[in-house]
Amino acid sequence: MDLKNLTTFIHVAELGSFTKAGAALGCSQSTISFQIRQLEEELEFPLFERINRTVVLTDKGREVLAYAQQVQKMTQQLKQNMHAGSARAVRIRVAMSDSLCNSLLEENFQQFLQEHPGIHLKIIAAGTEEMFRLLDHNEVDAILTLENHIYNTEYVIVREEKAAHHFVAASHSPLAKLGQISPEELVRQSFILTEKGMSYRRQLDEQLAQRSLEINPVLEIGNPHLICELVQQNVGISFLPDFVTEKAVKAGKLIHLEVPEIQVNIWKQLLHHRDKWISPQIDSVLQYCVEKEFRTP
């Protein structure tokens, strides 16, 4: 049932005139007549008696008027509540790789909250499989992955870019004096790595396994930024995304180790489900993630 026809019906009933209703709604009399006729045909009974240019509600018309006024009131309340809701706290849920949490929150996050006082952000650190489970069950609004490139028409890619990775060591490590390192020599080193099966760690393990090689790390921990600090202390070497190690490399605290036989292709992707309604608040969070996590095109 067209709400516009109900609104027209209320005006005709309250004003007792098609002409006056047209003037109030800014429509011609023929348009008003057409809308009332549509409503009568849909309900399958007349709403007005039209006798000698008078317009009087039928008994059924009076019943419909009571319902129409309730619908109009509820519609107005809905609009008011939705506008008022924009000022209420809205929880936005984003699942992401643990490696990406620091860069999202370390700078300007307070400014973001000040500019968007109605947003409460919930960040869930999860593996890729769990992220997509949450997304498919509408338990998160978006995900930020660090994984193989994902092609799936079920999801909308907001932004993506290839994420470079390197083996890293402390600048004062003996390995800093070496040139290229073979995989066989590499696995003999003391490693600090993220948990087994996590995105870039998984790809690294797979490539080594193809050569019948395996790394047995001295420490496995989920926080890549802590790993970066430990590598700077020469506790061991690691394999980390450049966005984690970039500052330390520029400061001369870490160096990249050249292992040309190991090439890992990882993509950073911000996605949401194609059926997800992107509210202004969700869009604000997505744009903040793009600003913090991706290079300017």
- The DSSP annotation for the chain comes to --HHHHHHHHHHHHHT-HHHHHHHHT--HHHHHHHHHHHHHHHTS-SEEEETTEEEE-HHHHHHHHHHHHHHHHHHHHHHHHHHHTTS-EEEEEEE-HHHHHHHHSSSHHHHHHH-TTEEEEEEE--HHHHHHHHHTTSSSEEEEEESPP--TTEEEEEEEEE-EEEEEETTSGGGG-SB--HHHHTTS-BEEPPTTSHHHHHHHHHHHTTT-----SEE-S-HHHHHHHHHTTS-BEEEEHHHHHHHHHTTSEEEEB-TT----EEEEEEEETT----HHHHHHHHHHHHHHS---
* Burial of 257 from C-beta contacts in 10 A (0-12 / 13-18 / 19+): buried
Q: How far apart are CA 182 and CA 18, in angstroms?
A: 88
Q: Read off φ and ψ for residue 251, nearest 5 degrees.
A: -80, -5
Residues of the chain scoring pLDDT < 70: 80-88, 296-297
Nearby residues of 258 by Cβ (< 8 Å), 6 or more positions away = 179, 180, 181
Answer whether 155's CB lies under 8 Å from 273's CB. Answer: yes
Answer whether 260's CB lies under 8 Å from 181's CB. Answer: no
Give residue 249's pLDDT. 96
Give residue 181's pLDDT. 92
- Can you tell me which residue has the tokens 């929150």? 105
Q: For the chain, how big is the Rg over CA atoms in Å?
A: 31
Give residue 248's pLDDT. 96
Give residue 148's pLDDT. 87
Tens of pLDDT, residues 72-116: 888 887 776 666 555 557 899 999 988 888 888 877 888 998 888
Answer whether 161's CB lies under 8 Å from 280's CB. Answer: no
**How far is CA 33 from its chain centroid?**
47
Give residue 83's pLDDT. 62
pTM over 0.85: no
Q: Tokens at residue 39, please?
A: 């409503």
Give residue 177's pLDDT. 81
Q: How far apart are CA 22 and CA 4, in angstroms?
A: 13
Q: Tokens at residue 214, please?
A: 């395996």
